[in-house]
Amino acid sequence: MLSTRIKELRVARNLSQVQMAKLLGVTKQSISNWENNNIQPSVDMLVSIARLFSVSTDYLLCLDDRQVLDVSGLSPEYVAHIQQVVDDMRR
């Protein structure tokens, strides 16, 4: 559910509703309404939320459960190190 995903992503990044609202240029009430499933964000805002959390809109909409980590610009050694950390955390 979109409302759950938004809240999970916000909490995982230690953002308050006020902080998230400032980053997106909306009110705290908008964030609260999205998280409580009172209203849905606009398509443009959905894209902004996806960009803020570096996830796809499909992930936000629960159409795809894969999260992607953008490692653009990192050396192959750093990417390999990050992959190793992720693999270790899965164990």
The stretch 47-56 carries a mean pLDDT of 93
Fold of 1-91: 434 Repressor (Amino-terminal Domain) (1.10.260)
Q: What 3-state DSSP class applies to 24?
A: helix
Residue 66 has pLDDT above 90, yes or no: no
Residue 72 has pLDDT above 90, yes or no: no
Residues 33-48 have a mean pLDDT of: 96
Q: How far is CA 79 from the centre of its chain?
A: 21
Instruction: Summarize pLDDT for 25-38 with one digit per residue, the tens.
Output: 999 999 999 999 99
Q: Scanning the structure block, which residue is given the tokens 């980053």?
A: 23
Question: Predicted confidence band at 90 (pLDDT cuts at 50, 70, 90)?
Answer: confident
Two tokens, residue 4: 């759950």
Output the pTM of the full model.
0.79
Domain ranges in the chain are 1-91
